[in-house]
Each structure stands twice: as C-alpha cells, then as structure tokens.
Chain A
Amino acid sequence: MTGGAEMATGDDWKSAWQPMVDAVGREFDHQPVVFCADRIESSAVRRYLEPLEFDCALHDDREVARAHGYDDIVVPTSALPTFAFAPMWRPGEQIFTSAQRDAQPAANAVTGIRTGLEPPTTGYFATNYDVEYLRSATVGDRLARRGARLLACVPKETKVGRGAFLTWESEIVNEQLEVVARLQTTFFRYNPHTAS
C-alpha cells in the first residue's frame, strides 16, 4: 500500500478534498510527451488476446489486417492504454526493495495521476472509462499518453471507504502526435474503512 502521511479523519475528510475540487478544469500535465518504451510488437498484441480468448484475425493476422485497409496487425481498442503505459522498470532502477510478502514496487505505471493537492489515500481503482477512438494503432506504432485535465472531483463515502471520484481527460497519441484516442477516466481514490 502507498501513503503513510497523516490521513483526514472525522468530518474533515470531505474538506480535505477541497483543493482538488477547486482545481477542476486545470491541466496538470506540463511535461513533454514521453513515448512508451517499445514499439508495439505482434507478440504483445497476441498475448493481450490470450486471457480474453479473443479470436479476431485483425489482431493476429497481418494479411487479413491489410486486406481490411490497415498497415499491419491492429491493436484492439481496449488495449490502447496498455501500449501507452510507461515501463515498469528502466535500466539502472531498483523497484523491488523489500521482501515483505505484499510490498509494492517503488514505481508503478498504473498508479494514475497525483497532483500533490489530494489528501493521502491508500487505495484506488478505475471506475469509469469513456473513450473516443479517432484512428487505429497497429504493430510498429509507438504510443504516448498526453494530458491530464481534471474534469471532476466528487468526494464520496462508498462501501469500501472514504475518498473521491476523480475524472481525468487525456489523449493517446502516436509518433506523429496524431490523436489515436481521447479518454475520460474516473478513479476512486480512497482510504479503506479498515484503515480510516
């Protein structure tokens, strides 16, 4: 689990999210676009299909994909975020620093956006995805995630804990900086009832 700073308690927990509520509409990504570590490979696409038992020739047969107007094997639309994730590890880094059974790596590509304005939380998960797909991505492409505009912050207590639903707007772009997909993603960041 992450966190460790003092958590909001009692009736303070909602007001602790006020800086985020006040930041709605603000863009938090001011960094240059950083592309995913790897070009998309057919083996990675094929492995994406396996747990889904997703039998679609667009995603595993180059000739079929070309016959349907694509340059190469097509990335499933649902896999676009996968191929825009930052690497879990880079040469020179040490991310596994503890042998404790449930210790988490020092870096994680899927922790979502942190602004420094939100109160400390230990749990999070994605709750909503709205996506507009503007162009395809194929094997050989490199993708990046761009932008982090906060669209909503709604403090709420749910059955798992107290926290806030945070909705972010971002884009997935290719190497030509063409927008492949426009995403609105909502995360619930919270402190579990057992810990709050």
Chain B
Amino acid sequence: MNAAQRHWDEVEEDEPLTPVAFPLTVYRLVMAAGANRDFNAIHHNADYARATGAPDMYANTLLLQGMWERAVRDFIGLAGVIRRQSGFQMRAFNCPGDTVVVKGRVERKWRQGDAAFVELAVWSENASGISVGPGRVVATMPSRQTLVASDEPVPSGRT
C-alpha cells in the first residue's frame, strides 16, 4: 500500500480511489476459503456450485469484502479507521477466469467534533459489469487542522 499517510484536508470530493485488480483463479478461491473459513462448497467446488444454479464456483463475501477493505485502506492509510460499510450487495457471481476490479470515489467529507470523516462510494466490477455494490464505506482520517488547532495528534487507530 502507499507508504505516505494522506490527511483529510487533502482529500477532495469526487476524487477516485486507485483501482485494485484481483484476478480470480481456483487456487485463489481455495486459499481464500482456507483463510477466511467460509468453506461453503459453492466457493471451492465447481460441480457443487453449478448444481445450485451458479455458473461455476464463486468468490465468497468475506473475500469480496476484503477486496473493498484493501482498496479503502490504500486510500485512508494506516491512521485511517473504517467505521461503517453499507450497500455491500452481491449483484453477480465472481468466478475463476474473471478479474474483479475494486473501484471507488470520495462521495463527501465532513467534520464532526474532532473527527474528520470521509464517505467513499465503492464497487466491484468484473466482465459482466458491477458485481458488488455500489456501496458506501465511512472512515475517519487524520487531519492537519486538528494537529494545528490542538497541538496534539488526532487519536488514530483506536476505535
């Protein structure tokens, strides 16, 4: 991820997130099932998945949420804190042989007390179009204004 920490003050509404591509393979889905413990066979067994009406085995929601988190984390940096995710809606199966690309943009930014918030629109695309979302992720980011005003770092990380 980006080494430099961005600050809320530098964020602009409508600014895009850097897209992150996730090529999907059987190997990757099996690794994901082992790592996130969602062993539902629809996510690692093509025959089983097809019997349930899907075209192939497909990525589980934990993997797909993790993709969103990686893209969001790239944007908010280590000092950012993810507060809420909404509108994470599965619209199409994400199967091996396809590439999921997570995209997003800054919907709005605001301050509430000492906290500086951003709301990001986030979605996943594959060959069929938008496959997940579009949803919203709300996060807090460090602000230079607060640093100047209080002369103390914004509490970061701890939620």
Which A residues lie at the B interface, using CB under 8 A?
Answer: 1, 47-58, 64-65, 68-70, 74, 76-79, 81-82, 85, 88, 101-102, 104-105, 108-111, 122-136, 159-161, 190, 192-195
Contacts and interface: CB of A to CB of B under 8 A. Distances in A.
Contacts, number: 147
Contact of A77 (B61, B69, B78): B69
B53 interface: yes
Given A51-B63, A55-B1, A69-B157, A102 B52 contact: no
Nearest to A137: B159
A131 B84 contact: yes
A160 B159 contact: no
Given A52-B22, A190-B53, 4 more contacts: A56-B73, A79-B36, A102-B48, A129-B88
Contacts of A134: 159
A76 B61 contact: no
Interface stretch (B9-17, B39-47, B114-122, B123-131): B39-47
A54 B83 contact: no
Interface in B17-64: 22, 28-29, 31-32, 34-42, 45, 47-48, 51-54, 60-63
Nearest to B58: A125
Given A78-B69, A160-B53, A135 B90 contact: no
Kindly state the interface size class of chain B when it binds its partner: 35 or more
Interface in B140-159: 155-159
Contact of B34 (A47, A110, A190): A47
B123 to A, nearest CB: 14
A133 B32 CA distance: 22
17 contacts: A51-B32, A54-B69, A54-B73, A56-B70, A58-B78, A109-B37, A109-B39, A110-B37, A122-B52, A123-B42, A124-B40, A125-B40, A125-B90, A128-B90, A133-B83, A135-B159, A161-B52
Interface of B: 1, 22, 28-29, 31-32, 34-42, 45, 47-48, 51-54, 60-63, 65-70, 73, 78-79, 81-90, 155-159
